[in-house]
Structure 1
Amino acid sequence: MPLLIAVVSLLGVLCLLTLVLTLGVIRRLREHTKLMDALYEAIDLMGGPPTGLATLGKGELVGDFAATTLDGDQVTRELLPEGAVVAFLSADCGGCRDQLPEIASWAAGQDRRQIVAVLDATSGDPEELVTALSPVAQVIVEDELTTVGRAFGLKVFPTFYQVSGEGRLLAVEGRISRLPVGSPA
């Protein structure tokens, strides 16, 4: 019986220690998120894109491009409406998959014509992305991100752009929620 009490006590202490460590990690992650948000805000105040996301920055003109959505509609720089959001996602991108529920939820509360999802199909099957985004966005699947990706100066996935009616970049972010229009629905 004393052995059983000792084992149960030890197990209780280990559980308590694990709980304290877990709470410490969660607290540290929240601090890290606040620091990253502050960094993105500082970069935005300087007028440039978040480091490494794109070669084009706020205020720059998107290059010419022409693409066809899965619905057969044409999308060009001139056809993008004021405030349109263009999201570049890839099938093998962990950050893209992690943000997919947030992106789909946000886009569901928007006008579908305002959202363009450009999906890279070179490194995997984009079917999961297509299924999630087709009801809420205009979806373009490219075998090679040369046309639209180059026009936007894309460097990494995921990257989200907000564009003016004249084709100028209003914002470039690594998360949909950091765009001026990207607050959760």
Structure 2
Amino acid sequence: MSGLVAIVALVSVLTVLNLLLTFGVIRRLREHTELLAGRATPIVGEPPSLPVGRQVGDFAATTTDGEPVARALLAGDTLVAFLTPGCEPCEESLPHLVEAAKKWPGGRRNTLVVVIGRRDRAADHVERLAPVARVVVEAPDGPIATGFGVTAYPLFGVVDSSGQVLRSETAPAALLPHGVAPA
């Protein structure tokens, strides 16, 4: 009988200890949540965009097909897009970008998509975009992203042959010229 009492007492002590540890973990998680919430900077005002009227800096890169691209090689109005794999808004806009690129005047030659990230993570984007756009995969501080001053994703815009940003929108279909129906 005394053995049974000892076991019940031990289980009771372990249960109370477990409850105390659980409450401690919950309190700690709440503290971490508050700290992380305090560090997050909410986006206030307009979503990120390419500044209209901005002159794009010089850049030179090579597409996934081995074709050179540079600001000096831009011909006519060029649809430009900046995406990164794993970005939820980028993933949501990818099919819309493909459809807009199919309809863009000048076609693939006048459509440039920059995928920011490692080549292995960008493979799906490249596969889907290569038939309709010239695709470059580069690091966040790559020459094209730096030339355009890109700091957020996704970004969509139109640049003329001199490298001046003509328009910028949050959706690629909104950049299609009047008379060209979005998908």
Q: TM exceeds 0.5?
A: yes
- Any gaps of 5 or more consecutive residues in structure 2? 1-44
Q: 1:90–1:158: 8 Å Cα contact kept in structure 2?
A: yes
Aligned counterparts of 1:123 and 1:116: Cα–Cα separation in 2: 17
Change (3 A) 1:101 1:157: same
Moved more, 131-140 or 77-86: 77-86
Q: Deviations over 1:137-168 (max 9, x none)?
A: 00000134431111111121100120011110
1:53 equivalent to 2:48? Answer yes
> In 1, are the aligned partners of 2:118 and 2:137 still within 8 Å (CA)?
no
Question: Which structure 1 residue ranges, 5 or more long, are not aligned?
Answer: 1-49
1:113 aligns with 2:109: yes
| 2: CA distance, partners of 1:84 / 1:163 | 5
Matched, 1:88 2:86: no
> What residue identity is the alignment partner of 1:114?
N
Evaluate the alpha carbon distance shift between residue 124 and residue 172 of structure 1 in structure 2; reply closer, same or farther with a 3 A threshold: farther
Conserved? CA contact 1:87–1:159, under 8 Å: yes
Once the two structures are superposed, the pairs formed by residues 26-175 of structure 1 within 5 Å of their partners are 51-54=46-49, 57-110=51-104, 111-122=107-118, 125-175=121-171
Q: If you compute each CA radius of gyration, which structure gives the higher value, 1 or 2?
A: 2
Structure 1 residue 178 displacement after superposition: 2.3
Q: CA deviation at 1:71?
A: 1.0
Give the structure 2 partner of residue 184 of structure 1: 182
| Aligned match of 1:11 | none
Measured in 1, the distance between the counterparts of 2:118 and 2:153 equals 13
* Equivalent position of 2:13 in the other structure: none
State the aligned residue count: 135
Q: If the length of structure 2 is used for normalisation, what is the TM-score? A: 0.67
- Counterpart CA distance in 2 for 1:118 and 1:165 is 18
Maintained 8 Å contact 2:81/2:114: yes
Q: Which runs of 4+ in 1 moved over 2 A?
A: 143-146, 180-183
Q: Which residue of 2 aligns with 1:26?
A: none
Question: Structure 1 pair 90/112, CA: closer, same or farther in 2 (3 Å)?
Answer: same
CA shift in 2, pair 1:183/1:156, >3 Å: farther
User: What is the CA distance between 1:106 and its match in structure 2?
Assistant: 1.8
Mapped contact 1:53–1:173 kept (Cα < 8 A): no
